Structure 1
Amino acid sequence: MRFERSHARRTAFVAVASSFALLATACGSGDDGSSGGGGSAAPALEGRGPITLASGKDTSGNLQNQLNAWNASHPTEKVELKELPEDANAQRQQMIQNAQAQSDAFSVLSMDVVWTSEFAANQWVTQIPEDKVPDLGKLIPATVETAKYRDKLYGVPVTSDGGLLYYRKDLLTKAGIADAPKTWDEMLAACQKVAALPEAKGMSCYAGQYEKYEGLTVNFAEAINSAGGVIVDKDGKPNVNTPEAKAGLEELVNGFKAGAIPKAAITYKEEEGRRAFQEGKLLFHRNWPYVYALANKTDGSSKVAGKFGVAPLPGKTGPGVSSLGGHDYAISSFAKNKATALDFINFMASEERQKANIEKTSQAPSWASLYDDPALTKQFPYLAPLKASILGAQPRPRVVKYGDVTAAIQAAAYDALNAKVAPDKALADLQTKLQSLITQ
């Protein structure tokens, strides 16, 4: 995020960085849609018996509890967890390999919301009749759209996600700052004030996720969207080589250059950043809702329990824009017991299961009513800013060749953050690359 805007701003920023320095600181794809996904009639979902769920590493520790609840009442249709790596890119790759082999090893896929177009177009997942999902209309509409391709449903949203700003409320209060920053400049000013506190020794100003993986695509998109830019416009055409996009990318580039974002953050994925925040190394941290429960643990694993607050992401002139995250459960086209798989998906997407999950993990639900549940809003004060984050979120490019598109974004952003390529050249090259990948 842009931490210098003029000579005066640059001077102030270097002062912030110096203060902290002295203190010691969610593969190629197929074709463009010709391989299917646009059929008018949904196939019959038949077959009953045991199934599997392919899902990324469960850092919450609660997923098996959810599966146990299903298994207890379905002794002949039990679900087995096939746990994939923590890294989203690796998860997607394993799911694609399974599909290309036409293997029935995975019945239900826990898919990042941006994978729908690719998996549906390649007929790796099965269309789901909307009338077979009784609670679909009770989910946040934006989450339902993530599960559609060519207006057909290919998944059911089980969790949503919006980026949040975690911040050390205790240190801001001690520095005389009453509210969380709404802009990048306000965040820098807060860093400068807090850096003068003895308690800030060893802290850095800010970090998100900057390793070359899907999290970097998210952080890149949020920086650009929060500066008024886009990666792909409303007509589906690449439009990333703009002054607005450059301003957003420069927020991140200048953050690394001046030291407000620590050098170590170039290796951060979600968990590395979470641990840094919980260890008291960051004043501000961009991450997903799941961090809330873990950072508030009182078992000694978090040094910031009870000391932090949650706010919307900051932007250029006001609150920023989150990338829409979350996971949809889809049925593999090669699964044997598709009827059981659909029943299991409806079970996991139900209000009861989503409420049970948020109570244990703080993960964002897709069920709209839970954001206004009095008991939950009391337990999780972040629900109000999270709801605003999700409602105002922008999707990452919804394209069939998503794997190639996100790889191009990550390469351009990573080279810019590492000062290998100037931001304007990185964006110009990315625009050319995206034009070759995204066709109408």
Structure 2
Amino acid sequence: MRFERSHTRKAVALTVASSLVLLASACGGGDDGGSGDSGSSGGALEGRGPITFATGKDTSGNLTNQVAAWNSQHPDEKVTVAELPESADQQRAQMISNAQNKSDAFSVLNLDVVWTAEFAANRWVTQLPEDQFPDLGKLLPSTLDTAKYRDKLYAVPVTSDGGLLYYRKDLLAKAGVKPPTTWAEMVTDCQKVKALPEAKSIGCYAGQFEKYEGLTVNFSEAVNGAGGVVVGKDGKPNVDTPEALAGLTALTEGFKTGFIPKAAITYQEEPGRRAFQEGNLLFHRNWPYVYALAGKTDGSSKIAGKFAVAPLPGLKGPGVSTLGGHNYAISEFAKNKATAADFIKFMSSEERQRANIEKTSQAPTWASLYDDAALNKQFPYLAPLKASIEGAQSRPKVVKYGDVTTAIQEAAYGALTGTTTPKDALAGLQTKLSQLITQ
């Protein structure tokens, strides 16, 4: 949640680029994204010196090492980490507040992949000159697509993410069942495992169901895994359908029957991970970073050596992951943008991404790393993870993403907590999204 120096431009190019930046600033930016170009011109990035990297709470424990590697090589251009809250929604809110105040406190922003369009349209991040990032073609195409808005580059993918089903392989083996490929199989598997004396009190399944961005992800996966969509390929919302209803109903019934523990309504990624590591869950939907933490043999995980991963199950067949990951962008109001660009190239390089996956199991964006024999031996899920990422569906790429994800969370949370029916929740959501998403 990623080594080269920027080439110095000729003085004329610098003057032209500066003029274009000033012109873009004078034009301002509207919340609706306006028309024509958004953000700066994508010309040369100027200024060298210390910068600040704004990022969510480092749950991996490796960010300090990555930044230290840069700082040791660039003593005059040191990076200070501004660690924001663990919650993605709170991270986004602080970054937006910083941008609306035109503050230069943040230089490089660690953006959830789905925020790129919103930040670019509002001119909160700088358009990047693609010729200064020559390795873009070596990244997974699905990840690079998340870094662009109106076919222009505004960020660089540093980590990707695909949802995985973590499961207790020891308990499944003892119960004589295989990892599930459908929701119904997962329910049946849990019933068989809970018949074991040592597993009678274990919770069956949990994802991320608190009212925050993780709920948007889990709701989307439930809908997509049932054959539905939240927003179609035509950019129009289409969530009031039998398929979406089937997906949401599976989640609501999970809570009603106890298949999903009541406590899971409060779960973000970390509480769910901790519950799984404590041995309190049989199945758990989470991201690749959990693999390294759950496998630690220092006593922090009670299930080290006892778990494995599988693709997400869908309603009637294999599931569909929501595309996750993080892109690094440069704040439009930052100083020392040339240093910021070099830092992004450093952190997104194959060498840094390899070092990061080896320490954290976070999904890289370099395609070559998924085919690396040594990494596949260490992380046997890499091949299915690559397939998951390549087949993943994105959350809505819209300018008013904050309003859209809030509407999704409110509708899904209402259904999960029983304050509204799944059918009414989807009908209301369709109406709300139709008002928010305009072409």
What letter corresponds to residue 264 of structure 2 in structure 1?
A
Unmatched 5+ residue regions in structure 1?
A: 1-28
Structure 1 residue 396 corresponds to structure 2 residue 395: yes
**How far apart are residue 41 of structure 1 and its match?**
4.3
Residues 39 and 126, structure 2, Cα contact 8 Å, conserved in 1: no
Residues 30 and 401, structure 1, Cα contact 8 Å, conserved in 2: no
Residue 350 of structure 1 corresponds to which residue in structure 2? 349
CA deviation map 1:31-66 (0-9, x unaligned): 332066447942321000101100000011100100
Residue 86 of structure 1 corresponds to which residue in structure 2? 86
Residue 170 of structure 1 corresponds to which residue in structure 2? 170
Q: Distance in 2 between matches of 1:118 and 1:328?
A: 13
Q: Greater shift after overlay, 32-41 or 313-322?
A: 32-41
Identical positions, percent: 76
- Mapping 1:362-373, distance limit 5 Å: 362-373=361-372
- Mapping 1:254-293, distance limit 5 Å: 254-293=253-292
Residue 434 of structure 2 corresponds to which residue in structure 1? 435
Residue 114 of structure 2 corresponds to which residue in structure 1? 114
- Mapping 1:4-403, distance limit 5 Å: 31-34=31-34, 37-38=37-38, 41-177=41-177, 179-403=178-402
Residues 40 and 127, structure 2, Cα contact 8 Å, conserved in 1: no
Q: Distance in 1 between matches of 2:52 and 2:132?
A: 20
Q: Distance in 2 between matches of 1:200 and 1:208?
A: 20
Residues 36 and 123, structure 1, Cα contact 8 Å, conserved in 2: no
What letter corresponds to residue 107 of structure 1 in structure 2?
S
CA deviation map 1:266-286 (0-9, x unaligned): 000000100000011110000
Q: Distance in 2 between matches of 1:172 and 1:381?
A: 18
CA deviation map 1:202-253 (0-9, x unaligned): 2111000000000000000000000000010001001000000000000100
Q: Distance in 1 between matches of 2:398 and 2:32?
A: 8
What letter corresponds to residue 334 of structure 1 in structure 2?
F
TM-score, normalization: structure 2?
0.92
Residues 296 and 304, structure 1, Cα contact 8 Å, conserved in 2: yes
Residue 18 of structure 2 corresponds to which residue in structure 1? none
Residue 410 of structure 1 corresponds to which residue in structure 2? 409
Q: 1:110 is paired with a residue of what secondary structure?
A: strand
Q: 2:276 is paired with a residue of what secondary structure?
A: helix
Q: 1:81 is paired with a residue of what secondary structure?
A: strand
Residues 42 and 129, structure 1, Cα contact 8 Å, conserved in 2: yes
Q: Distance in 1 between matches of 2:249 and 2:384?
A: 26
Q: 2:52 is paired with a residue of what secondary structure?
A: strand
Q: Distance in 1 between matches of 2:277 and 2:230?
A: 32
**How far apart are residue 392 of structure 1 and its match?**
0.9
Residues 39 and 124, structure 2, Cα contact 8 Å, conserved in 1: no
Q: 2:95 is paired with a residue of what secondary structure?
A: helix
Q: 1:33 is paired with a residue of what secondary structure?
A: coil
CA deviation map 1:88-147 (0-9, x unaligned): 000000000000010000000000000011100110000001111011000000000001
Residues 50 and 337, structure 1, Cα contact 8 Å, conserved in 2: yes
Residues 30 and 400, structure 1, Cα contact 8 Å, conserved in 2: no
Q: Distance in 2 between matches of 1:194 and 1:289?
A: 24
The 1:372–1:155 alpha-carbon spacing in structure 2 relative to 1, beyond 3 Å, is same
Q: 1:326 is paired with a residue of what secondary structure?
A: strand
The count of corresponding residues between Structure 1 and Structure 2 is 411
The 1:94–1:39 alpha-carbon spacing in structure 2 relative to 1, beyond 3 Å, is closer
The 1:36–1:68 alpha-carbon spacing in structure 2 relative to 1, beyond 3 Å, is farther
Q: 2:166 is paired with a residue of what secondary structure?
A: strand
Residues 38 and 123, structure 2, Cα contact 8 Å, conserved in 1: no
Q: Greater shift after overlay, 183-192 or 38-47?
A: 38-47
Unmatched 5+ residue regions in structure 2?
A: 1-28
Q: Greater shift after overlay, 37-46 or 374-383?
A: 37-46
CA deviation map 1:394-420 (0-9, x unaligned): 000000000000000000000000011
**How far apart are residue 317 of structure 1 and its match?**
2.0
CA deviation map 1:57-93 (0-9, x unaligned): 0011100100000000000001110000000000000
Residues 36 and 120, structure 1, Cα contact 8 Å, conserved in 2: no
Q: Distance in 2 between matches of 1:323 and 1:154?
A: 21
RMSD of aligned C-alpha atoms?
A: 1.2
